Structure 1
Amino acid sequence: MSPECDDCGQEFTTLSRLRLHDCPGGQRSEATDDPTTDELPTDTTDESAGSPASDSGLDRQELDRQELEREHPDVVGDLPDLIDDARAGDLSAISRAIAEYERVLTTVSRGDAPGGDDLHHDLLFAYYEPLADGLDAAAETGGWEILLEFADAYDPHEQNEFPEVGHVIANAIGRSVIRTRRSEGVDAIPADALAFLGAIPEYVDEFHVAYEESYTYGWGIDHPDHSVADHPLALAQDEPLFVKVTLNTAFYVDQHAALDVFETLVTDEAISGTHTRFGREIDRTELYFQAVADLETEQLLGPHAPPYWDEDDDLPRVVDVDPDVKQRIQDLALETGVADSVSADWSLRDLDSSLLSGILDEMSDSRDGS
């Protein structure tokens, strides 16, 4: 079924053309884009029906979303009517809901609705998980074609900015990247899916909600048609956090391919300067050594997985590091001066002298003494 505009009824061959068309029926959106404070109800709760908070069958996020919808009905638009079907994976509903979500977030972010940054934050997280779940459900039924159509429709390169709803699309793409890698191998991951994830740090900083979604990019290491290896190298100076977490994830997935990237990173003399981590300045080369420090440590999180995804419990938490890989990392630590010497019981965790390693040491000592 061709995508169709709800306002003007025009049909389009692609979701991208639907999203970008100049709709003559946009008066409805314009009318809801500029609510005044007086138009917003102060309390629409029907006391005779009981307080929503008393419904133990609803989780906290659901209750928060319902409160937003009661307090800002003119801002949320059609989202309350679409969200249940969208979350269930209905493709028509998810397409319309994501478009409406974008309109709502854009309206608030440009100041055309009361509430400012706080309301934008609340709206973003109120619909983040259900829309990501819904798009993922649609993709599990319809395959990669669905996700690639959304990636094309919301391509940041086409509009020269990251879309307001890009975090939802990246989340669903990330889930499918991991599933595909584990079930079919890296060759089965579409290159365009990795390109969408890899573009995120080019457009937003590490404090943006979508930045965390970009780390799933590491699952594409050694892809035949999209060089996940080259991208971290290109961003090593400007986006050290992306590079570190992506590289860490890549080691969990394919330690030998990741080692090649790692060696190039830590021996590149053009990479210099420091990065602030846990309140202290750390040399970038040392930071990249920390990307391998947790591979043998069960206490930490393991490879990156998208937020809200319940299948991440099945992912490995510890890597059985090849002795040759470990030896090469140790040699590089000595060659670069990150380690002055190594003891007989040297481990990868010795590469991270940060507060986090201290915490892990305390946890280990506590268990030993109990």
Structure 2
Amino acid sequence: MARDIAPLKRALDGATEGTQADIYTLLAKWNTSMENALEQSGDRFRDVFWEYLEDTIDLVDAAAVDGEPDWAFLQDCADAYPPAVGDHHCTVLIANVLGRCIIRTRIRHDVDAIPAWALDYLGHITWEDDKDAASEESGAFGWGIGHEEVAVADRTLARAEADDEFWASSVLTHAIFADAHAAIDLYERILQSPDTIEDLHHIEGMQRVLTRPFPDRPRYWEPTAELESPAPLSDDAREYLLRVLGENIHPKRLQRFDDQIEFDLERAATEYGDSDLL
């Protein structure tokens, strides 16, 4: 056994599925082993990270959920390893399991049953401090759109305007599954902001709602095995999106990318765009 990952291997081998006490040890040993690997090289870190990520996440999820999420346990883990501090490697684990539990709760109950602190955790993750894998997981923040305590749409717009539009895209990818009209409202606000640049990049992720039952994240999870998928995108929502596209993006740009996007950009351009520009 390689010395750098020995603490993690022992914790994985010694953990009993569903036992929360073992997870506190596992998180600590994950962090130690990732730091050991990083001290050797970036390549070594990436190899170890991807080799053991799925098994570690599965154990955390099994301990966190017994029918319903144990939010108190998850909050203990989140408090021990907060996001956006850059001094540990556990954010990706917690973000993945929080994302699963947020989706479970939204679908089985309603948006306001999601604890505000859980959404806040995802909403504070940054690429700079938490790296790309955790940032990708944090898009599940979008399932909180419409929450009475957490201004998901406003915060997503603010980050888009602060040059974090790729994170906003990942949020939109999730939000359109949770509440299509609210997600399209947010998309329109992003398009109309003078402080944003991206336009069709956002729709690349949002179009997944047309062909898939759930977004691709959280990793290593098959939500259809335990949840009913959200209702398909309604005709009304689809038409609303075409109107937003047509009214906010140059019609010739829409026509140029029509064959690359599942939504009917040609119709958005001709029915809702400025005919003088065609």
Q: Same fold (TM over 0.5)?
A: yes
**Equivalent in the alignment of 2:111:** 186
Q: Give the Å deviation of 1:162.
A: 6.0
Equivalent position SS for 2:126:
helix
In the aligned structure 2, how far is the partner of 1:327 from the partner of 1:82?
Answer: 52
Q: CA-to-partner distance for each residue in 1:271-313, whole Å, 9 max, x for gaps?
A: 23xxxxxxxxxxx1232344443433x2x57424311113345
In the aligned structure 1, how far is the partner of 2:207 from the partner of 2:5?
Answer: 44
Q: Give the Å deviation of 1:315.
A: 5.8
Equivalent position SS for 1:293:
helix
In the aligned structure 1, how far is the partner of 2:220 from the partner of 2:109?
Answer: 23
**Equivalent in the alignment of 2:74:** 147
Residues 1:270 and 1:107: Cα distance change in structure 2 (over 3 Å) = same
In the aligned structure 1, how far is the partner of 2:22 from the partner of 2:200?
Answer: 47
**Equivalent in the alignment of 2:32:** 103
Greater Rg, structure 1 or structure 2?
1
Higher RCO (CA 8 Å, separation ≥ 6 residues): 2
Question: Amino acid of the residue matched to residue 103 of structure 1?
Answer: T
Residues 1:231 and 1:203: Cα distance change in structure 2 (over 3 Å) = farther
**Equivalent in the alignment of 2:173:** 248
Residues 1:333 and 1:86: Cα distance change in structure 2 (over 3 Å) = same
Out of 103, 113, 121, the position equivalent to 1:196 is: 121
**Equivalent in the alignment of 1:257:** 182
Relative to total residues, which structure has the larger helix share, 1 or 2?
2
In the aligned structure 1, how far is the partner of 2:189 from the partner of 2:99?
Answer: 26
> Which 5+ residue runs of structure 2 have no aligned equivalent?
256-260, 267-278
**Equivalent in the alignment of 1:228:** 152
**Equivalent in the alignment of 2:143:** 219
Question: Superposed, which structure 2 residues align to 1:110-189 within 5 Å?
Answer: 111=39, 115-141=40-66, 143-157=70-84, 160-161=85-86, 163-189=88-114
Q: CA-to-partner distance for each residue in 1:43-72, whole Å, 9 max, x for gaps?
A: xxxxxxxxxxxxxxxxxxxxxxxxxxx2x1
Q: Give the Å deviation of 1:322.
A: 4.1
Residues 1:174 and 1:295: Cα distance change in structure 2 (over 3 Å) = closer
Residues 1:286 and 1:154: Cα distance change in structure 2 (over 3 Å) = same
8 Å Cα contact 1:87/1:133 also seen in 2: no
TM-score normalised by length of structure 2: 0.81
8 Å Cα contact 1:303/1:315 also seen in 2: no
8 Å Cα contact 1:166/1:210 also seen in 2: yes
**Equivalent in the alignment of 1:295:** 209
**Equivalent in the alignment of 1:308:** 220
Question: Amino acid of the residue matched to residue 152 of structure 1?
Answer: D
In the aligned structure 2, how far is the partner of 1:211 from the partner of 1:96?
Answer: 24
TM-score normalised by length of structure 1: 0.62
Determine whether 1:75 maps to 2:4.
yes
Q: Give the Å deviation of 1:146.
A: 0.6
In the aligned structure 1, how far is the partner of 2:250 from the partner of 2:81?
Answer: 42
Residues 1:87 and 1:220: Cα distance change in structure 2 (over 3 Å) = farther
Question: Amino acid of the residue matched to residue 246 of structure 2?
Answer: L
Determine whether 1:330 maps to 2:259.
no
In the aligned structure 1, how far is the partner of 2:250 from the partner of 2:224?
Answer: 33
Q: Give the Å deviation of 1:320.
A: 2.7
- Give the total of aligned pairs: 257
Question: Amino acid of the residue matched to residue 242 of structure 2?
Answer: Q
Q: Give the Å deviation of 1:317.
A: 7.9
Give the superposed CA RMSD. Answer: 2.8
**Equivalent in the alignment of 1:350:** 264
